[in-house]
Amino acid sequence: MRHTSVAVAMAVMVWACGSTVPAIVDSPSSGAGATSSSTGAQVRLDRELVVREDIVEASVADVWRVLPRAWEDANVPLGSIDNARHTLQSGAFRAPRSIVGKSLSEFFDCGYTMAGPRVTLWQVSVEVAGAVLPDPAGAKVATRVDATAQPRDGTSTNSVTCTSRGELERIIAGNVRVRLGK
């Protein structure tokens, strides 16, 4: 049941954001992969897009009215706003070393190098997409966060896909509730 809900939410967000899901550096549908030069082996890595949905006991109009400010409170820049479809997109942005006073490692898992976690050592780029959807209990705040990391020292142009830990999505929904007094 949960997978069906996520699939439906993703389909709604794709429709709401236009014909395609906004991508960052390496879109999930591109089938990011690598080929080993020594063995010729090919490895294809795909990731599942995750959309977090939070129910807010308020009207779609009220939630939509405060959502842009909730993003700003979470240090997420506003790139495009579609008032008719109730969707927002940040566009790709470089993540600061911390978001709302929390380390990036609380928000993303980008894997590890010999020197430590990439999220703390590499430059992280983030893109956020959101929508307000009707729900029998009020409104749904649907948020998707994509992130990639790339070495800061310029030694490589390859980026790695990071996994959201759900913290930014949770903070955005919490900010909506605070702004609505819920």
For residues 126-153, one letter each, b for 16 or more C-beta atoms within 10 angstroms of the residue's C-beta and e for the rest, the string is bbbbbbbbebeebbbbbbbbbbbbbbee
Mean pLDDT, the chain, rounded, equals 79
Instruction: Assess whether pLDDT exceeds 80 at residue 79.
Output: yes
Looking at residue 71, its pLDDT comes to 97
> What pLDDT does 48 receive?
57
Tell which wins on pLDDT, 176 or 23: 176
Q: Are residues 149 and 31 in contact, defined by beta-carbon separation less than 8 angstroms? A: no
Which structure tokens are listed for 30?
Answer: 């591109």
- Residues 78 and 69: their CA atoms lie apart, in Å, by 9
What pLDDT, in 10s, does the model give residues 3-56? 444 444 444 444 444 433 333 222 333 344 444 444 444 444 455 567 899 999
The helix (H) or strand (E) run that includes residue 116 is strand 116-117
Query: Is pLDDT larger for residue 140 or for residue 153?
Result: 140
Q: Rounded to whole angstroms, how far apart are CA atoms 6 and 145?
A: 14
pLDDT > 80? residue 108: yes
pLDDT for the residue 36: 41
Calculate mean pLDDT across residues 49-76. Answer: 94
Angle between the N-to-C axes of helices 60-73 and 167-180, in degrees from 0 to 180, rounded to the nearest 10: 120
| pLDDT confidence of residue 38 | 47
- Domains of the chain, by residue range, sit at 2-19+52-180
Buried b (16+ CB within 10 A) or exposed e, 15-36: ebbeeebbebbbebeeebeeee
Q: Domain 2-19+52-180 belongs to what topology?
A: Alpha-D-Glucose-1,6-Bisphosphate; Chain A, domain 4 (3.30.530)
Which pLDDT tens digit goes with each residue over 142-159?
Answer: 999 999 999 988 776 688
Q: What proportion of the chain, given as a percentage, has pLDDT over 90?
A: 60
